[in-house]
Structure 1
Amino acid sequence: MRIPAYDRRSMLIGGAAATLAYPLGLITSAAAQTVLSPTQTMRGGSNNYSPGAPLVDNLGSGFEMSGNVRRADDGAPLANVRIQIWAATKRGGEREPSNHGSVLTAADGSFRLEMEQIVPNFGQPHAHLAYDDDAFQTVFLRPVMPSASDTSLRADFILERA
């Protein structure tokens, strides 16, 4: 005959322990423990960077660049963070001023910029994005599109305090 590993007493003790553990600080929520690895600058990410690109509503149409910005130490979304975006597009190369612009993140940390279709530069269709303000460490990204015919690209930032 097999004796169960639990009985009424062990169930009551276990339930009481679980009930008291959270208020006593023995258990913390997963959200309180969230620590994210900061985004690292990508090689070539700062190519043709132009500090202080203006805030823009769009850089054309036909392609969408988007992403999210979060704080590394707690994973919280960062609002009103300036993200600079530039790329070689149908308008011209990466140095073309009309291919450079900045956007601010929304309350949920998201950003979005409509722009002209990105075209291959040095063989790869890619964009450049930068965070370069003082509150967090500077990060330059250079995400590559899987295909030159893609009409969107996403890049997320996890920022570490400066």
Structure 2
Amino acid sequence: MISLRRRTVLATGAAALAAPALILPARAEGLAPTPTMRGGANNCRPGAPLVDRIGGGGFLMTGSVRRAGDGAPLPGRRIQIWAHTTEGHERDARSHGATLTDAEGHFALDMPQIVPAFGQPHGHLAYDADYDDGGFRTVFLRPIMGSARDRTLDVAFVLEPA
């Protein structure tokens, strides 16, 4: 029996526009890797500092990081997050930060409310292998929120070994 841990939206590229919520099991055999979004490196700041929060907070970016294939959680993985928010544009250094996954492969980062940019409320996240042990491929995500009023966004990274 597979236990369901939490509701996680697997948001990647254009599929994120209409992607329904997907329940990811705690472990899943045959879990496919998350494809990286073309152009996802736009405004990424390699080596963004590890932070407890970005700006004043009020919006919660959460997610999980798992290994492709067996779905094992990946602790200690560095996830960079940036967005156009009520406090700054996605190009601004103050709108960037990084966090690490916990023992179960989960992460959370409080940040200012995301606001629409280019007509869509969205965030940017990256797992950058250059700032980790290099065991997995880099993945960029640009998940789109259901509404500009949403106060949370939850995403999943499924990393493919390099």
TM-score between both structures, scaled by the size of structure 2: 0.78
CA distance in 2 between partners of 1:89 and 1:101 (Å) = 13
CA distance in 2 between partners of 1:140 and 1:89 (Å) = 19
5+ residue gaps, structure 1, are 1-30
User: Aligned-residue CA RMSD in angstroms?
Assistant: 1.6
Aligned to 1:89: 85
Deviates most, 44-53 or 92-101: 44-53
Aligned residues: 132
Matches within 5 A, 1:5-154: 34-59=29-54, 60-133=56-129, 134-154=134-154
Displacement of 1:38 in angstroms is 0.0
5+ residue gaps, structure 2, are 1-25
Displacement of 1:71 in angstroms is 0.4
- Which structure: greater helix fraction? 1
- Show CA shifts across 1:47-70 (max 9, x none): 211111000000131100000000
Displacement of 1:107 in angstroms is 0.2
| Larger gyration radius, structure 1 or structure 2 | 1
Aligned to 1:16: none
Q: Matched residue of 1:114: which SS?
A: strand
TM-score between both structures, scaled by the size of structure 1: 0.78
Contact 2:136 2:159 in 1 (8 A): yes
CA distance in 1 between partners of 2:158 and 2:121 (Å) = 23
Q: Matched residue of 1:149: which SS?
A: coil
Q: How much identity, in percent, do the aligned residues show?
A: 61
CA distance in 1 between partners of 2:137 and 2:98 (Å) = 17
Contact 2:63 2:106 in 1 (8 A): yes
